[in-house]
Structure formats: structure tokens, C-alpha cells
Amino acid sequence: MSQLELSDIFTVDREGKPTFKIVLFGPSMAGKTSMLTVFNALRRLENPETIVSSLTKIQDVSGRTIFFDQGVFQTPSFKGRRFDRLRYQLWTTPGEERHKVQTDIVMKGADAILLFLNYEKISLKANERIIKEAKEKTGGKFGQKIPVVAFINKSDLVSEERLDKRDIIKLMIDAGAINSDKSADHIMTGSCLNARNDLLSLLNSQQIENHLEDERLKLESRPESVWLIVRPIQKLTQLVVQQRIDLVQQIK
């Protein structure tokens, strides 16, 4: 039997490169675009060679995102192994119901889903709807063949205004996104607003040279708020890559 190639277990893009697709699924104005903007900026500051193509945002007349045409990035090292030829795409779904057709197009071929939820107490039902809709669009693959991670935005709210994270865990379990509360590490929190502001403050600070090495941002200088919004994307990348590695091992 010939050696199995990455292109045998990942979708191949137009350039013939093995690629996988992460879709950020959530309502309009939830912060999806802000997350990807910060992530893209961080890649440029830390590892510009991992960027294959820049983020391209398509907006309607009101300024709301209709498509956020990926960023295409090379995968980072995974358990000491670098997949130099493996790429991943980040897409967002348009949040408004009138863009349902575009949402269906973006969701097609998704290898992983990042549920974009809201920490506000008044948003419990809306969060439940988001999880339900994502499941409906992926069917029995949801949380199984298609790994799912949730990011709860607006952690900068005071505790009295935030949901109990356990309520989100229950919604995820009920929907089959995770198997039990032992998988609660699939549910992360953060603030896209804080991440954007902290990154801008760092770049505009008079001490910025102390945070650079060879004109790149040092990993240890990454603001904590930025770590928090990068973690969900890293987690999904690891889940997808590990899933495919396991598949290869089963075939062998």
C-alpha cells in the first residue's frame, strides 16, 4: 500500500493544497469579524509567513458582513510535527436571516464549527437558537465528524450581567456538540473588544520595541485578552488535525 498523503484525507484547494475549513457561526453584530481581524493581525505580527491570503470582507450597504472570505493560513506545529503543506480557511456566516442562502453556501464543506455565543443574560434563548441552527445545517455530523467549539463573547461584562457558563454547557450537551461536562474545555470565553483594544495599545505604546524580536511580536508579549480569543481557533485546528491523524492510523 502506497503512503497516504494529506491530500487523501483533506479537501484540496484550487492550488492543489490540502485544506480544511473552520466556520464561525453566530448572529449579526456578535463580534465574529472582530475576532478574525485580530487573529489575522496577530498572524502578521508573529508569523507572517503562515498567511496565504488576506481576509476579504464583503459588506452590505449598512456595513454588516455578508461574506468574510476566509483567511487562509498554514497550520502551526502540532505535537512537535509541522504540516507545512496543510492550510486552513476561516469563514464567518452572515448573521441575518435575509442572508440565509449565503449562510448555506458558507457552511457547505465545513470541517469544524466555532459557535459564536453571547454572554449577556438576555441571550440564553438566542444562544440556544444558534446552536440549534448550526446542528440543523450539519445534521448528524455535528460534534462528531465535524468538531464543535463554542466561544462566548463579552466576558468583559460584570458578573451580574453574564450568563452562568453551566447553562451554555447544558445547551451544548443537549445538542450533541459535546458528550458531557468533561468536555467543557470546548467552551471558551473572552472579549473581542478587549482583545482589539489591548493589541492596539501594545502596538502604539512607546515600549513596543521591547516586545519585538527580529521585527516580530514575541509570543510572551501577546496580551491575555488576545490569547483568549485565539484559543478557540487553535483548539479547533488541533481537533481537526488529530481527527485526521487518527483516521490515517485506522486505515494503516
In a domain, 38, yes or no: yes
Q: Provide the residue range defining the domain that includes 117.
A: 6-251
Q: Is 197 exposed, middle or buried (0-12, 13-18, 19+ CB in 10 A)?
A: middle
Neighbour tally for 160: CB within 10 Å: 6
Computed over every residue of the chain, the mean pLDDT equals 83
The pLDDT tens digits for 108-151 are 889 999 999 999 999 999 999 999 999 999 988 999 999 999 99
In a domain, 1, yes or no: no
Secondary structure letter of residue 247 according to DSSP:
H
d(C-alpha 118, C-alpha 136), whole Å: 20
The pLDDT tens digits for 156-185 are 999 999 999 999 999 999 999 998 888 889
Neighbour tally for 84: CB within 10 Å: 8
In a domain, 211, yes or no: yes
d(C-alpha 19, C-alpha 171), whole Å: 30
The pLDDT tens digits for 140-159 are 899 999 999 999 999 999 99
In a domain, 21, yes or no: yes
Into how many domains does the chain fold? 1
The predicted structure's pLDDT at residue 218: 94
- At residue 64, the 3 state secondary structure works out as coil
Mean pLDDT over 71-93 rounds to: 68
- At residue 10, the 3 state secondary structure works out as coil
Confidence of residue 85 (pLDDT cuts 50, 70, 90): low
Q: β-strands 18-25, 187-189: how paired?
A: unpaired
d(C-alpha 62, C-alpha 55), whole Å: 20
**Tell me, what CATH number does 30's domain have?**
3.40.50.300
d(C-alpha 179, C-alpha 29), whole Å: 29
